[in-house]
Each structure stands twice: as C-alpha cells, then as structure tokens.
C-alpha cells in the first residue's frame, strides 16, 4: 500500500524538525538535564510539527539506549512508537472523544503502570475541542499526575482553552514555516523520490502552503501521482487555479498607465484562461500588499505573500512604478467587492466595473490636481468698517472673489447638485458645510447661495479663506472655469413668511416620536396663555 509523503517523511528526531528551532532547543536541553515536565501544551497552525514533536518527545523519554536528547530509533521502544503500536503511548483525538465520560475513563487508566516503557505518554490532539465538563474532569489529574505519566496536548486554537489548564502546562508556540524552508525540504524529498519538478514550481507550492509543511507535502504527493513529466510552474498554478504573478504585474501596470480598451482586453484574456474571478481578486490583493510593502520599506528582507521570493530584487525595482497611496486605494476597492462576488452568477462583471471605475476616478483626480496646480493665486478683499455697518442693515453678503474667465456660464439647480456630488469623494468636510445652503440664482458671473439663520456656523466657516479656496479649486476642477461666489444670510424681517406655530409644534422630534409610539393623531392644538 502506498504511504503518503507526509507520513513517510515525518520527522523522527529533533534535528529533522524544521522551522521550530526555539522549541527544539528548549526540549533538547530539558532532556539533557533530566528536567522532564509532566504536562506540555503545543500550540500553533496546522502542519507545523506539533504531533510529530510530541511523538519524538515520547520516544526520547522512553528510549532504551540514549534518548538524551535524541532517540536512537533502533531500540524496541523507539521502533514500536514509530510504528504506532506501543501500548504506553496513547494518542487521543479530542474532536471525537470530547465528553466528560471519555476523560473519566482516561483518569482511571492513568493510574495504571506502563506496560512496555518507562513512561506512559498521553498525546491529546485538538485538545480545545473538549467540553467544559471534560476540562474540569481533567484538571486535577493534569495538575498532579502519577510520576510515570506525561501529558502532551496539541491545539490550533489555544485561546479556547481554560486558563486553569494552560497554567498547569509548559506551553510552546509553533510558528508557520517560511517558504524558503519548505521549498528546501521539498527539493530534498523530490530528489529522493525521483520526482521531476522545477525549482520555481517548488517555490509556488511552498508559498501556497501558507506555512504548513504537511500541506506542501500533500500537494507534492498529489502531483507525483498523476503527472509523469517534469512538473512546471504553470502546472502548479493551473492546479491551484491561480494566475501567474507576472500576468498580474503586467495587468496592474496596464491599469495604471494604459487605456480602457487594453484593460478590458487583458481581463478577457485572463478570464478565458480559466482563472476564477474571486481567486484573481485575492491574488491581486496579495500582490498589491507585497508591492506596497516593498515600496515603503525598500528592503528585500520582508515577508512576501505571492511575489516570488527568488525574484524579490527585481520586483523591488518595479515597486517604484507605483505610489503607495495608489496601491492602497486599489487594494481597498478590491477588498470591498470580494465578499459580494460569491453572490453573483458572473463575478467578472463586478470585477471589471470596479477596475474601470477605479481607473476613471484616478484619471479625474489627476486632471483635478493638474487644474489646481495651474490655477493662479487668489487675492481677497478686506472688509472695511463701513461695510460691516451696512451688513447690519442689509442681508449679509460675503463675497468670495474669483476673477471670472471667458464668458463663464454658471450651473442651474441640477448642476449645483452635480457639483456637490463631485465634491463628496474629494472633501467631505466642505460638502458638510455646503449641504445646508440653498442654491438661489445666477446673475451674470455671480452665483448666489443662501444660508438660514440657524446655519450661522456653516456660513461663518464657509467665509474663511481656506474653505473659500477649497471650493474655488474644486469648482475649477469640476468645470474648468473660475467663479464669483456670493453667500447670503437669510434675514428675519417682516417680509419673511411667519412660521405657523401649530406646524412647528408638530415638527418637534419628541412630539413626532410620541405620536408614533402610541399610533395617535393630533385632533386640536390649543394655545395656553399665562396669567396677566
């Protein structure tokens, strides 16, 4: 019967464990000094060597020849543990034996002396799956086990363990194995097993394993089963349903510098190559992350997600083609649509529209920046004391003076709303100040907007030079023309329509909430006069 590679190549001593040097050093030193604990907790992602380390530890403490620190793997005890039929090394899957009755049974058997070896070892895998009652039943035994018993527990989610359990164990955290370390081990396996595979293909397997040695070994085993020729990088990418990094790089460059037709054409080419839209989006997100990190650090020692680590210097130079802000903005756009793509019959449409809209928005922003940079400085006219006195007698008019250009034609009401929509993604604070304003009219080159008396704060803020300049620059970017803007404060003279007190009462929020609460209506409103 064929034995899978991850079982065949399971580490048999401490030196064979990769990527966990700190844990290996501590365990080997404790064995040399004879300071073996009664309970260990191995935490970390899947496929990082937790169970393998537990078995090596079981062999080391029970080795009949040496075992300080490495097991000999030749004595009857080591051989029986390696082959999985040692009666004193009990492996328990907590996911399927999670109840309190299972732990009570374990407590009864713990008292029995070992049959074949010096120590009885209990390896409890995925220990976080035990129930609360089971943890309570295990607690006392774990705290004071018989001298011939050692507990080794493994988990991928240590945060789910009660603090009382963790405090009674020596905790070791296993880390994700780096891609170069995985690729090196895969190269050794491929040469020994006679698997023909390119180095770049091994690197792609290592990256896709995401730090899990077992996942990488399983993938290599799968490839060796049905491919009788040399395994190339393209075969790996096709198997994973992923897009080549170079293709993504070329597409992002097209999105940055080329026209819309080129963008659509490249997207179609990627689509008809069989790539999944969601996977492409994820790969682009990871690519943009890598390029952003390279652009801000200018270092080839950073951890990369999808960029080939053997070509990091090449992509470090390419990172200068993009600004960090552009990379982050595009990344946010892609992240925002990733969740919605699963609900669409054709997610490519959403991806295409998002990318084209981002390209269009980026183009408009660049045009606006160029218009602002070409605009001449604006001079403001000081307000004299005489003018201040006149303001008290007439409606307040704050003139925002901008030199008119060739026959400017200012927008009507609909275009004013369109201008506000133009401001929205560019200056939300300015939009907040303009929303209470009412578009009044246009007279020649003047545009009048009006604030009510209850929006005096907004009027005062808009009268400030910095807000005035912002509005002037944005309008210039919007229409390509300058404006002469006047802001009017609505006066409270007798000419104004007097508000209806009954209507005002009905508009009070507390009155409206009360009517809604009791599903009531107002039949009559009576004015209450005070005593004269």
pLDDT tens, position by position, 119-154: 999 999 999 999 999 999 898 888 888 889 999 999
Assign domain 245-367 to its CATH architecture. Up-down Bundle (1.20)
H/E element holding 172? strand 170-173
Contacts of 142 (CB under 8 A, 6+ apart): 39, 151, 165, 168, 169
CA distance 304 to 310: 11
Output the pLDDT for position 452: 79
- Parts of the chain belonging to CATH 1.20.272.10: 245-367
Q: What are phi and psi of 436, to 5 degrees?
A: -70, -10
Contacts of 46 (CB under 8 A, 6+ apart): 156, 212, 214, 215
* pLDDT of 19 higher than 70: yes
Assign domain 385-489 to its CATH architecture. 2-Layer Sandwich (3.30)
Poorest-pLDDT segment among 94-103, 376-385, 416-425, 476-485: 376-385
Neighbouring C-beta atoms of residue 154, cutoff 10 Å? 25
- Parts of the chain belonging to CATH 1.10.8.60: 179-240
Poorest-pLDDT segment among 234-238, 368-372, 481-485: 368-372
* pLDDT of 242 higher than 60: yes
Regarding pTM above 0.75, the answer is no
Collapse the DSSP code of 239 into the 3-class scheme (helix H, G, I; strand E, B; otherwise coil) and give the result.
helix
- Parts of the chain belonging to CATH 3.30.300: 385-489
C-alpha separations of 25 from 17, 29, 31, 120, 342 in Å = 11, 6, 10, 23, 46
Cβ atoms of residues 107 and 92 within 8 Å:
no
C-alpha separations of 166 from 108, 160, 161 in Å = 22, 10, 7
Contacts of 316 (CB under 8 A, 6+ apart): 294, 298, 299, 300
CA distance 84 to 123: 12
Name the β-bridge partners of 40. Answer: 152, 170
- 185-189, 208-212, 356-360, 414-418: range with highest mean pLDDT: 185-189
The pLDDT of 504-531, averaged and rounded, is: 65
* pLDDT of 411 higher than 60: no
Collapse the DSSP code of 525 into the 3-class scheme (helix H, G, I; strand E, B; otherwise coil) and give the result.
coil
C-alpha separations of 305 from 204, 263, 298, 330 in Å = 11, 24, 16, 17
- Parts of the chain belonging to CATH 3.40.50.300: 5-173
Contacts of 171 (CB under 8 A, 6+ apart): 40, 41, 43, 158
CA distance 236 to 223: 9
Neighbouring C-beta atoms of residue 344, cutoff 10 Å? 14
Q: Three-state SS across 255-266?
A: HHHCCHHHHHHH
CATH of domain 179-240: 1.10.8.60
pLDDT tens column, 36-68: 999 999 999 999 999 999 999 999 999 988 767
CA distance 403 to 368: 19
pLDDT band at 495 (very low <50, low <70, confident <90, very high): very low
pLDDT tens column, 452-477: 777 777 788 888 778 777 877 787 77
CATH of domain 5-173: 3.40.50.300
* pLDDT of 316 higher than 80: yes
* pLDDT of 494 higher than 60: no
pLDDT band at 389 (very low <50, low <70, confident <90, very high): very low
Q: Report which of 30, 60, 46 is spatially closest to residue 174, judged by C-alpha positions.
A: 46
* pLDDT of 493 higher than 60: no
């Amino acid at each position: 019967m064929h034995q899978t590679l991850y079982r065949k190549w399971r580490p048999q001593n401490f030196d064979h464990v990769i990527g966990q040097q700190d844990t290996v050093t501590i365990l080997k030193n404790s064995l040399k000094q004879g300071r073996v604990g009664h309970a260990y907790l191995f935490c970390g992602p899947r496929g990082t060597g937790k169970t393998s380390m537990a078995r090596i530890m079981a062999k080391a403490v029970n080795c009949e020849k040496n075992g300080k620190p490495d097991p000999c793997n030749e004595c009857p005890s080591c051989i029986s543990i390696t082959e999985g039929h040692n009666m004193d090394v009990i492996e328990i899957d907590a996911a399927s034996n999670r109840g309190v009755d299972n732990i009570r049974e374990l407590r009864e058997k713990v008292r029995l002396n070992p049959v074949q070896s010096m120590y009885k070892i209990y390896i409890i895998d995925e220990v976080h799956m035990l129930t609360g009652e089971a943890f309570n039943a295990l607690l006392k035994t774990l705290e004071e086990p018989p001298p011939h018993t050692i507990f080794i527990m493994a988990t991928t989610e240590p945060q789910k363990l009660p603090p009382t359990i963790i405090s009674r164990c020596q905790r070791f955290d296993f880390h994700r194995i780096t891609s170069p370390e995985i690729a090196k081990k895969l190269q050794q396996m491929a040469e020994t097993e006679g698997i023909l595979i390119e180095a770049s293909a091994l690197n792609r397997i290592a990256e896709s394993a995401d730090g899990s040695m077992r996942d990488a070994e399983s993938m290599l085993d799968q490839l060796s089963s049905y491919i009788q020729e040399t395994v190339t990088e393209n075969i790996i990418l096709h198997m994973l349903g992923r897009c080549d990094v170079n293709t993504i790089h070329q597409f992002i460059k097209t999105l940055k510098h080329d026209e819309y037709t080129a963008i659509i054409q490249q997207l179609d080419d990627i689509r008809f190559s069989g790539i999944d839209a969601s996977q492409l989006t994820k790969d682009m997100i990871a690519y943009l992350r890598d390029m952003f990190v390279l652009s801000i650090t200018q270092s080839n020692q950073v951890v990369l997600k999808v960029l080939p680590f053997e070509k990091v210097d090449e992509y470090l130079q390419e990172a200068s083609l993009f600004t960090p802000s552009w990379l982050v903005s595009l990344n946010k756009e892609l992240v925002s649509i990733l969740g919605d793509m699963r609900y669409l019959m054709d997610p490519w449409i959403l991806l295409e529209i998002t990318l084209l809209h981002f390209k269009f928005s980026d183009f408009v922003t660049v045009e606006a920046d160029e218009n602002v940079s070409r605009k001449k400085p604006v001079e403001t006219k000081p307000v004299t004391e005489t003018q201040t006195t006149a303001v008290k007698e007439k409606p307040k008019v704050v003139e925002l003076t901008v030199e008119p250009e060739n026959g400017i034609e200012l927008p009507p009401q609909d275009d004013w709303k369109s201008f506000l929509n133009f401001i929205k993604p560019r200056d939300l604070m300015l939009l907040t100040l303009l929303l209470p304003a009412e578009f009044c009219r246009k007279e020649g080159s003047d545009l009048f907007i009006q604030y009510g008396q209850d929006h005096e704060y907004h009027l005062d803020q808009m009268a400030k030079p910095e807000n005035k300049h912002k509005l002037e620059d944005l309008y210039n970017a919007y229409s390509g023309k300058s404006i002469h803007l006047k802001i009017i404060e609505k006066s409270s003279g007798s000419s104004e329509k007097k508000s209806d007190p009954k209507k005002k009462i009905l508009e009070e929020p507390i009155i409206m909430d009360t009517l809604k609460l009791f599903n009531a209506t107002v039949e009559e409103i009576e004015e209450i006069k005070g005593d004269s």
